[in-house]
Structure formats: C-alpha cells, structure tokens
C-alpha cells in the first residue's frame, strides 16, 4: 500500500507515519447497543422498518395574521402500531413547537397585506441498527414578506421502548474527538461557504438538530452559526468510525512511546531523533508526533478494531488512518506501517528522552490535552 506523505507547517515535520490510506467508513462499533427487534407482529415480518414522507397538508389561516402552512410528516413503515403512532406524535410535536415560534413572530402588524408562509417537511430520515428511527424536520419560514428563514428540529425514537433517545447515546458531543471529526468532515466536503472551525476553541459551535443512520451521525447547524446566511443550514455527516460515546472513551489511560533514529550529540550533550507517543482510553486515541528538541503535532480520534481514524489538530484539519497490532486496552501500533526504523521505546530510550527534555517523561495526553 502506497504511503501518503504530508508536511505540517506547524512543526516542519514530514509525517509519513500514520497517513496510510484514505479513510473507509467502518461498520458501526460493536460497543454500541445491539439492535433488538420490537415485540410486535410487524417485527416478525421480513421487511425492515423504514421512513417515508407523508402527504402534504395545507392550511390557510388569518390568525394571528394571514399565513399559508404546508406540512409533510414522516411515516414509519414495517413496525408496530405503537411505534408508528409515536413517530407521528413526535413529528407533530416538533411542527407544533416551530409553528408556535412562527406565530409569535406574526403577532405584530405586517406592512400591507402580506401573507406569511410556513413549510415543514422531513429533511433527513434514517433507521439505525433496525432499532432507532431518526428524523430531522426542516422548516422554511417567511414572515411579513421578508426573506425565508431556514430552521431544523430533530428527534430519534428507540423502537424497542417507544421513547425518544438523546444524542449522548451515540456520540460524546463536546469531546475533542467529535470536534475534530466535525471540523475535518466539513473540510473534506469542500464546503467553502463554512468558516474554518477550531476544535480547540472554548466555544465550539453546537448543532441545532441531529439524526442517525447506518452511515453515521449527521449534525445540522443554525443559519449564520458557522458561516454567512448564504450557507443556509450547514450539515455534516460524521462516520461511526470517527466518533464515540463518553462511555466508550472511559477507563484508564494507557501510554506507549515509539522512537526512530535516536543519536547522541556530544557537542550539545543531547539526543536527536523522532518520537511518537500514544495514549489510548477505551476507543479514544491521542497521538503526539515530534522531533526531539522541536515542536510536535497532535492527533485525536477513535479506534474500531485494529484501526484508528485520527485527525490532526490545527489548521490543516487532515484525516489519517492508523493501524494497530491488537485490540487490547493498550494496543501496540504497527511499527512496520509507521515507516522504516520505527520501534517501541525501551527503558534505555526513555532515559535518553528524559535526558533531552530535561525532566520527567510525559504522555501524548499531557502534550496534547483533552
């Protein structure tokens, strides 16, 4: 497999280590809840649950002012009557909540005799693991003859319990790995309308809606939240191979160090060479790649099986796929794939590193944070 070499301006490093192959979307991690068919007659049928768009319903009203309201609702198929009823209920609640906000903005007197317009429809739908029915309702609101405003609301139903589930069941929203995935997938989509996102920023944009499918979790952002109004509602898909839940990233932090070409400089009483440090906590992976006596590059991501999808922290927002030799709590990275000359550090190597940095040994998490 041909390696991809990337040069990082932040540290002047040639990083030919983890940049191996374009990322492939992995199957949903086994750590997530296993799909369990709802106990119903429909569940026994061969067809899997699906979501369609229902018929359009148009309402004309003069209260509080003249408006035309057009609504299409999601319709769940091949599931129990209770599940179909619940999906319809949650969809109607989402429309009612947005309509309430719309009408509140219409209570004032508009110039002339303008007719407002309210349009609602299922913008995105998905079924995940045959168990989770996910819907994002899209809205186009035109009040007092002004330009239309775009909004979104979402809900996800567990077809086993009939209840709505929160985002935390699928992803840890504020973890650095999720923020890196958001920034890098927006960049990968080449959406030039979106401003560059900084995962290390204290106030990282929050999605206004989300939905899940077999491909991953999709975030919807508010208009003007990460770009000009012309961007509309920015949407990004995060593959399951690039995100994890808080539960999946718990436990003890395990650390390893890898070295390449450590040589002693008598004149300066120091060592030169390259060092890669890795910290693994459950599925969470942090990598610090550096030259001794130089700045380094931080990468964050999650692992699935023997591979980890990592993203560079900083301006380049680049993705890398790293290989591991095992799936243990403290996996060894495949040094053959890191490049020629790389090996896991010995006790002697650690002493040389400590001698060079002039202090105690640090870890990738200590160097990169989060």
Write out pLDDT tens, residues 239-261. Answer: 999 999 999 999 999 999 999 99
Instruction: Select from 124, 125, 133 the least CA-distant residue to 160.
Output: 133
Is the pLDDT assigned to residue 28 strictly greater than 50?
no
How far apart (Å, rounded) are the C-alpha atoms in residues 58 and 46? 35
Residue 36: band (very low, low, confident or very high) from pLDDT cuts 50, 70, 90:
very low
Whether the CB-CB separation of 277 and 367 falls below 8 Å is answered with: yes
Dump pLDDT digits (tens) for 291-311. 988 888 999 999 999 999 998
45-to-191, 325, 352 alpha-carbon distances in Å: 42, 42, 65
DSSP state of 2: P
pLDDT at 149 over 80: yes
* pLDDT above 60 (res 32): no
Long-range pairs of 56-61 with CB within 8 A, sequence gap ≥ 24: none
Give the angle subtended at the CA of 103 by the CAs of 98 and 109, to the nearest 5°: 150
Q: What are phi and psi of 337, to 5 degrees?
A: -85, -15
Mean pLDDT score of the chain, rounded to an integer? 84
pLDDT of residue 108: 59
Which percentage of the chain shows pLDDT scores above 70? 83
Helix (H) or strand (E) holding 185: helix 176-188
Q: Between these two residues, 324 and 149, which has the higher pLDDT value?
A: 324
Torsion sign (Cα): 287, 325, 247, 38: positive
Calculate mean pLDDT across residues 125-131: 97
Q: What is the pTM of this model?
A: 0.83
Predicted local confidence at residue 145, as pLDDT:
61
Q: What is the pLDDT of residue 110?
A: 61
Residue 135 has pLDDT above 60, yes or no: yes
Mean pLDDT of 174-184: 93
Q: pLDDT (tens digit, 9 = 90+) per residue, 96-117? A: 999 998 888 766 556 666 788 9
For residues 290 and 319, the model is more confident at 290
Structure confidence at residue 208 (pLDDT): 95
Q: Is the pLDDT of residue 224 over 50?
A: yes
3-state SS, residue 278: strand
Is residue 123 within 8 Å of residue 152, measured between CB atoms?
yes
Q: Say whether 327 sits in a helix, a strand or coil.
A: coil
pLDDT band at 200 (very low <50, low <70, confident <90, very high): confident
């Amino acid at each position: 497999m041909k390696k991809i070499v990337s040069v990082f301006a932040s540290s002047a490093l040639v990083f030919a280590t983890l940049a191996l192959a374009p990322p492939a979307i992995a199957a949903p991690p086994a750590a997530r809840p296993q799909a369990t068919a709802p106990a119903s007659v429909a569940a026994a049928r061969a067809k899997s649950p699906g979501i369609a768009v229902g018929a359009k319903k148009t309402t004309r009203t003069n209260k509080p002012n003249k408006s035309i309201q057009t609504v299409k609702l999601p319709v769940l198929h091949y599931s129990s009557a209770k599940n179909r009823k619940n999906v319809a209920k949650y969809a109607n609640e989402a429309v009612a909540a947005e309509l309430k906000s719309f009408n509140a903005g219409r209570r004032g007197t508009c110039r002339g005799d303008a007719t407002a317009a309210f349009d609602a429809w299922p913008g995105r739908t998905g079924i995940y693991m045959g168990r989770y029915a996910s819907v994002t309702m899209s809205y186009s609101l035109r009040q007092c003859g002004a330009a239309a405003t775009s909004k979104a609301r979402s809900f996800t139903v567990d077809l086993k319990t009939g209840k709505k589930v929160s985002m935390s069941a699928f992803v840890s929203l504020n973890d650095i790995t999720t923020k890196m995935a958001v920034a890098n997938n927006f960049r990968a989509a080449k959406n030039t309308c979106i401003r560059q996102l900084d995962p290390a920023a204290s106030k990282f944009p929050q999605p206004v809606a989300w939905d899940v499918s077999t491909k991953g979790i999709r975030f919807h952002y508010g208009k003007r939240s990460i770009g000009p109004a012309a961007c509309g509602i920015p949407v990004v898909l995060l593959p399951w191979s690039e995100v994890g839940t808080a539960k999946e990233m718990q436990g003890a932090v395990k650390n390893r160090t890898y070295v390449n070409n450590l040589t002693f400089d008598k004149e300066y009483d120091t060592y030169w060479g390259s060092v890669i440090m890795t910290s693994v906590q459950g599925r969470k992976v942090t990598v610090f790649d550096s030259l001794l006596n130089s700045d380094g590059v931080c990468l964050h991501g999650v692992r699935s099986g023997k591979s980890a999808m990592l993203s560079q922290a900083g301006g380049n927002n680049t993705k890398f796929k790293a290989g591991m030799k095992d799936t243990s709590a403290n996996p060894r990275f495949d040094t053959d794939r890191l490049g020629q000359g790389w090996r896991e550090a010995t006790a002697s190597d650690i002493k040389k590193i400590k001698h060079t940095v002039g202090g105690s040994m640090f870890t990738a998490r200590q160097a990169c944070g989060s």
